[in-house]
Amino acid sequence: MRIVKTALLLSALLSGAVVADIAVVVNPANANAVSADDLNRLFLGRSSSFADGSKATPLNLAEGQAGRDEFDSKVLNRSAAQLKAYWSKLVFTGKGTPPKELADDAAVKAAVAADATAIGYISSASVDGSVKVVASF
pLDDT tens-place string over residues 35-51? 999 999 999 999 999 99
* Closest C-alpha to 75, from 20, 35, 118: 35
Cα 101 to chain center, whole Å?
Answer: 10
**For residue 16, pLDDT beyond 90:** no
CA atoms within 13 A on the CB side of 11: 6
* Closest C-alpha to 56, from 137, 126, 119: 119
pTM for the model stands at: 0.84
Amino acid at 82: Q
Determine the Cα–Cα distance for residues 72 and 78; give it in Å rounded to an integer. 6
What integer pLDDT is reported at residue 9 of this predicted model?
42
Share of the chain above pLDDT 90, in %: 85
Domains of the chain listed by start with CATH number: 20-136 (3.40.190.10)
**For residue 134, pLDDT beyond 50:** yes
